[in-house]
Chain A
Amino acid sequence: MKTWMIVSAYILFAPLLGGLLAGIDRKITARMQGRFGPPVLQPFYDVLKLFEKESVAVNHVQNFYILFFLIGVIFTGCLFFSGGDLLMVIFALTLANIFLILGAYSANSPYSSIGALRELMLMMAYEPMVFLVAIGFYMVTGSFGISNLVQSNKMLLPYLPGIFAGFLYILTIKMRKSPFDLSMSHHAHQEIVKGITTEFSGSTLALIEIAHWYENLFLMGFIFLFFTWTSPWGPVVGVLACLVVYFLEILIDNSFARAKWQYVLSSSWAVAATLGFANVVILQLLQK
């Protein structure tokens, strides 16, 4: 019963919260750049307007993949917030993302194909680190279940500093923030056309944006897991940490220009292979 309530709350409120975060993001970004910025509710206006546009496409199937992308992302989020298995969450997210990539591929347009390949490369770059996060949690608590992780009797961060740092690194990719926004960027100045979303317009583009809001929310959930523990203070610290991390991502976004793909791939793998690996080895030694 409780699970169902959480799941329906997530489905209903996550886009609201995600959109609000996006609005605040744009406001802060604007202030960092010395602009006044749009109203906080601007993302909602944008999406609503997109829904009113005439539906155009290159072919009939491409929008269908995006629909499944959105369903996949929502499903992943539900799995996450209902306390499911962390590895299952990662697999479901991968599946959802693949639908996005296939949609861009199926349009068979030069710009969206480049976007799709770049998105795929980014997935390859962040995947090992995401797995290491799950592995780290498992090694400390003996469980992949998110419901068990939330009820951990200690904060997990002190055991997983390397893995946390590594996750922060690839979070920039996942949140589509500069310097790692290779496949699609919110910054007009560094985008080749519009990357993976080039051939999507109107309501389909709106769906991609909404999916992104859903996604951002459970990414913050990952951060929350690092900080929370069973005391009443746990969730408070967790939410505060999420806000700090979000702010940090905005700061990073505005401080770096887009990197080359070679750098993104090799540095993300290097981070996973050093910080992540070292953390896992130390955990293993501690447990003996």
Chain B
Amino acid sequence: MLFPLLAAGLLAIVRNGKLQGFIVRVSALLIASGSILLAVQTFGGRLSIRVESEWLSYGMLALDIAMSVLIVVFAIRRRKPMAAILTLIQTPLLIWFELSNGHGIVIAADMAIDRLAILMALIIGVVGSLICVYTIPYMKEYHHHHPEFKDRTPFFLAMLFVFLSAMFGIVFSNNLVWMYFFWEVTTLCSFLLIGYTQKKEAVDNAFRALVMNLAGGVGFAAAVVYVGMNLHTMELSALIEMGLKGTIVIVPAVLLAFAGLVKAAQMPFSSWLLGAMVAPTPSSALLHSSTMVKAGVFLIIRLAPILSGNIAGLMVAMVGGITFLLASLAAISQTDAKKLLAWSTVANLGLIVACGGIGTYEAVWAGILLIIFHAVSKSLLFLSVGTVEHNIGSRDIEDMHGMVTKLPEMAVMLTIGIAAMFLAPFGMLISKWAALRAFIDSDNVLIVMALVFGSAATLFYWTKWLGKIVAVLGRSARLENHIKKDEWVSLGFHAAIAVGLCFLFPVISNRVIEPYLEGFYGTQIQSVLSAGNTNLVLMMLGMVLLMPIAMYVYVHLQDEKILTAYMSGVNQGDNRGFTDSFGKPKDMYLANWYMDKYLNEKTLSMIGIAASATTLAVVLMMALGGAL
């Protein structure tokens, strides 16, 4: 956990390009292997760590203050008062609490490493490190393409590692004050990463992210204070246990869930994640897949046992459902690949959040699997789009037409990523299937409907992108590709993990997720996915994986006659042009279908914000009103 911090420190100092690359590679390798080692060692057990040290908590407090001061300075410099106000609410609140009440509370475990934490650590450690490796060549090219921005690569790399470190902190913390500290670190890091280019747009979006996440942080701080003053504990595990035993913990549940919803970019707050795209691609990949937003859903999944069946859970589930439906519809009208990916992240997080809000055994099972599968395939997609952008000079989906002829390697990567996001034998769909059953079983008809319609939209936007990629452009030259070795390593590992996970998921489910859930829900007689269906899925998976080989053989055995495509008999010799009505040659251009007249992004966002904000406001008022 501390190691990435060390790497960050080193990277901030080192300016030499080669040495920089070396440090990143070595530390990425160490972090990844470290998290795997941790998983193997502590597997199955629950490790609690208690740190009895006054100076550590004072140190954290001091850092809290330092961060707060930093934010105020930024806010004053850029004249954004909101950020300063929010940070000035939460930090003094927490200081006051720590100094007055915090000391009296006995804490049994500051850190707790259970199966869920290990899973998260694996995601952060492996996917996060792969993204860092990818960053080295990417940033070089990025500054080559954008000479107008100041090269601050060391800072960027350092921030990535600080981010990883803070994420480890969040997943391992059991002490809420600790978690809050790491929570704020990720907020600040994401702010700095989004604003990397220091363009006006970047700064504006960075501040939007900061303000929203600070608002979530206020919720977190309020929850910490409430839990400490009324329930006399500081531990997340204790809070959940109390909730399961019947103590009313609705207020902290609502407040923490609120913080989680903001981090997970759910509907009224989704704009910060969409705005975060102005940053260089690796940071988007990191924010969208393994860190930041995953911190939000992680907290909600952690809270799931005390959300199940109460008003806090209903709030979370409704917001998640609304977000899933509207974000999926909004994704249809996107031509910018990164923007489409961003909307799809928002939608998928909505689904995970809804699973957490429902909070039954099946739902949480589905939610955890969704987190795993989504992290890998989304990261793969973001990095692929980044590489494609550097190679063809655009990240517009329309420009990816005929990728399979132009850049076959990248076409394969994108295809794996897209297929893993929505197609039958891959993990996302299995989890969606379990989620659907969980929603029906828990009688949440509205969320079932959201899932059903949202899935149909999901199918539409992914398939039409896939269609663009697989279109074969006759006699088009293959583009020279400039993909660097580090990029290859990262992309290759991603793809391998995405496919491998599909085979491993029964093991992950049996050995990790089910035991974790049994701790809260008691033993289940029947596992969520029956053995017969698991076999079927593996069969289908085998079929799909055989496809590339079969395709190769098939294509080489074919002897069919190749003709030009039908263009009402006015082709210009090949499939790229036709003769127009004036008798002049004209290039053919096949556009995709975006329905932007009907599925306008702005209108959909407005509806979503209105609906989810109302839900949130009503529940917050009910919960807090009841408490006061």
Looking at B3-11, B171-179, B443-451, the stretch in contact with chain A turns out to be: B443-451
A201 to chain B, nearest CB (A): 9
Pair B471/A94 contact, Cβ less than 8 Å: no
Tell me which residues from 461 to 505 in chain B have a Cβ below 8 Å from any Cβ of chain A: 463-464, 466-468, 470-474
Pair B562/A57 contact, Cβ less than 8 Å: yes
Pair A57/B460 contact, Cβ less than 8 Å: no
Cross-chain contact of A56 among B423, B533, B536, B560 (Cβ < 8 A): B560
Looking at B62-70, B185-193, B278-286, B547-555, the stretch in contact with chain A turns out to be: B547-555
B388 to chain A, nearest CB (A): 18
Instruction: Judge if A13 is at the interface, Cβ distance under 8 Å.
Output: no
A138 to chain B, nearest CB (A): 6
A134's nearest neighbour on chain B, judged by CB, is B436
Assess A120 versus B464: contact at CB under 8 Å? Given A106-B472, A107-B472, A135-B440.
Answer: yes
Pair B449/A61 contact, Cβ less than 8 Å: no
Contact with B along A98-141 (1 / 0, CB 8 A): 10011001111111110011001101110110011001001100
**Residues of B with C-beta under 8 A to A60:** 555, 558, 560, 562
Cross-chain contact of A117 among B464, B472, B588 (Cβ < 8 A): B464
Pair B598/A124 contact, Cβ less than 8 Å: no
Tell me which residues from 68 to 117 in chain A have a Cβ below 8 Å from any Cβ of chain B: 68, 71, 75, 79, 84-85, 87-88, 91-92, 94-95, 98, 101-102, 105-113, 116-117
Looking at B85-93, B290-298, B564-572, the stretch in contact with chain A turns out to be: B564-572
Instruction: Judge if A284 is at the interface, Cβ distance under 8 Å.
Output: yes
**Residues of B with C-beta under 8 A to A144:** 437
A129's nearest neighbour on chain B, judged by CB, is B452
**Chain B interfacial residues counted at CB < 8 A:** 58
B430 to chain A, nearest CB (A): 9
**Residues of A with C-beta under 8 A to B440:** 135, 138-139
Pair A63/B558 contact, Cβ less than 8 Å: yes
A138's nearest neighbour on chain B, judged by CB, is B440
**Residues of A with C-beta under 8 A to B463:** 98, 101-102, 120, 123
Pair A64/B555 contact, Cβ less than 8 Å: yes
CA gap between A280 and B453 in the complex, in Å:
15
Pair A88/B423 contact, Cβ less than 8 Å: no
Pair B445/A284 contact, Cβ less than 8 Å: yes
A118's nearest neighbour on chain B, judged by CB, is B593
CA gap between A198 and B575 in the complex, in Å:
14
Instruction: Judge if B543 is at the interface, Cβ distance under 8 Å.
Output: yes
Pair B554/A108 contact, Cβ less than 8 Å: no
Instruction: Judge if A277 is at the interface, Cβ distance under 8 Å.
Output: yes
**Residues of A with C-beta under 8 A to B563:** 56-58
Pair A56/B554 contact, Cβ less than 8 Å: no
CA gap between A57 and B404 in the complex, in Å:
18
Cross-chain contact of B551 among A64, A75, A132 (Cβ < 8 A): A64
Pair A128/B453 contact, Cβ less than 8 Å: yes
Cross-chain contact of B452 among A102, A120, A132 (Cβ < 8 A): A132
CA gap between A131 and B448 in the complex, in Å:
10
Pair B565/A108 contact, Cβ less than 8 Å: yes
Most B Cβ at <10 Å: residue of A135, A138, A277? A135
Assess A284 versus B443: contact at CB under 8 Å? Given A88-B536, A101-B463, A105-B470.
Answer: yes
**Residues of B with C-beta under 8 A to A88:** 433, 533, 536
Cross-chain contact of B567 among A109, A117, A280 (Cβ < 8 A): A109
Pair B560/A105 contact, Cβ less than 8 Å: no
Instruction: Judge if B321 is at the interface, Cβ distance under 8 Å.
Output: no
Contact with B along A195-232 (1 / 0, CB 8 A): 00011000000000000000000000000000000000
Instruction: Judge if A167 is at the interface, Cβ distance under 8 Å.
Output: no
CA gap between A55 and B562 in the complex, in Å:
9
Tell me which residues from 404 to 441 in chain B have a Cβ below 8 Å from any Cβ of chain A: 404, 423-425, 429, 433, 436-437, 440
B546's nearest neighbour on chain A, judged by CB, is A68
Cross-chain contact of B543 among A63, A71, A87, A128 (Cβ < 8 A): A71
Pair A87/B436 contact, Cβ less than 8 Å: yes
Pair A61/B555 contact, Cβ less than 8 Å: yes
Contact with A along B562-587 (1 / 0, CB 8 A): 11111100000001000000000000
Assess A64 versus B554: contact at CB under 8 Å? Given A56-B563, A135-B448, A284-B443.
Answer: yes
**Residues of B with C-beta under 8 A to A33:** none
Pair B472/A128 contact, Cβ less than 8 Å: no
Instruction: Judge if A54 is at the interface, Cβ distance under 8 Å.
Output: yes
Pair B558/A95 contact, Cβ less than 8 Å: no
A173 to chain B, nearest CB (A): 13
Pair A116/B562 contact, Cβ less than 8 Å: no
Instruction: Judge if B561 is at the interface, Cβ distance under 8 Å.
Output: yes
A85's nearest neighbour on chain B, judged by CB, is B533
A225 to chain B, nearest CB (A): 18
A193's nearest neighbour on chain B, judged by CB, is B566
**Residues of A with C-beta under 8 A to B592:** 117
Instruction: Judge if B531 is at the interface, Cβ distance under 8 Å.
Output: no
B428 to chain A, nearest CB (A): 11
A142's nearest neighbour on chain B, judged by CB, is B441
**Residues of B with C-beta under 8 A to A105:** 466-468, 470-471
Instruction: Judge if B627 is at the interface, Cβ distance under 8 Å.
Output: no
Most B Cβ at <10 Å: residue of A59, A98, A112? A59
CA gap between A120 and B473 in the complex, in Å:
21
**Residues of A with C-beta under 8 A to B536:** 79, 84-85, 88
Cross-chain contact of B588 among A57, A101, A110 (Cβ < 8 A): A110
Most B Cβ at <10 Å: residue of A85, A94, A95, A108? A108
CA gap between A24 and B257 in the complex, in Å:
60
Pair A131/B436 contact, Cβ less than 8 Å: yes
Instruction: Judge if A281 is at the interface, Cβ distance under 8 Å.
Output: yes
**Residues of A with C-beta under 8 A to B433:** 87-88, 91
Pair B575/A111 contact, Cβ less than 8 Å: no
Assess A54 versus B456: contact at CB under 8 Å? Given A91-B429, A135-B440.
Answer: no
CA gap between A140 and B115 in the complex, in Å:
36
**Residues of B with C-beta under 8 A to A56:** 560-563
CA gap between A11 and B115 in the complex, in Å:
45
Tell me which residues from 196 to 246 in chain B have a Cβ below 8 Å from any Cβ of chain A: none
A55's nearest neighbour on chain B, judged by CB, is B560
B310 to chain A, nearest CB (A): 19
**Residues of B with C-beta under 8 A to A57:** 560-563
Instruction: Judge if A178 is at the interface, Cβ distance under 8 Å.
Output: no
**Residues of B with C-beta under 8 A to A120:** 459-460, 463-464, 467, 593
Instruction: Judge if A67 is at the interface, Cβ distance under 8 Å.
Output: yes
Instruction: Judge if A62 is at the interface, Cβ distance under 8 Å.
Output: yes
Pair A108/B555 contact, Cβ less than 8 Å: no
Instruction: Judge if B20 is at the interface, Cβ distance under 8 Å.
Output: no
Pair A108/B590 contact, Cβ less than 8 Å: yes
**Residues of A with C-beta under 8 A to B456:** 123-125, 127-128
Instruction: Judge if A17 is at the interface, Cβ distance under 8 Å.
Output: no
Instruction: Judge if A273 is at the interface, Cβ distance under 8 Å.
Output: yes
CA gap between A54 and B551 in the complex, in Å:
21
Cross-chain contact of A95 among B424, B437, B470, B598 (Cβ < 8 A): B424
CA gap between A64 and B472 in the complex, in Å:
13
Instruction: Judge if A10 is at the interface, Cβ distance under 8 Å.
Output: no
Instruction: Judge if B1 is at the interface, Cβ distance under 8 Å.
Output: no
CA gap between A132 and B532 in the complex, in Å:
23
Assess A108 versus B474: contact at CB under 8 Å? Given A63-B558, A101-B463, A132-B452.
Answer: yes
The interface of chain A, by Cβ under 8 A from chain B, is 54-64, 67-68, 71, 75, 79, 84-85, 87-88, 91-92, 94-95, 98, 101-102, 105-113, 116-117, 120-121, 123-125, 127-128, 131-132, 135, 138-139, 144, 193, 198-199, 262, 269, 272-273, 277, 280-281, 284
A–B complex contacts, Cβ < 8 Å, 27 sampled: A57-B560, A58-B565, A59-B472, A63-B558, A64-B551, A67-B554, A75-B543, A95-B423, A95-B425, A102-B467, A106-B404, A107-B471, A108-B471, A109-B565, A109-B566, A109-B575, A116-B467, A117-B464, A120-B467, A123-B463, A125-B456, A127-B459, A128-B453, A132-B452, A277-B449, A280-B448, A280-B449
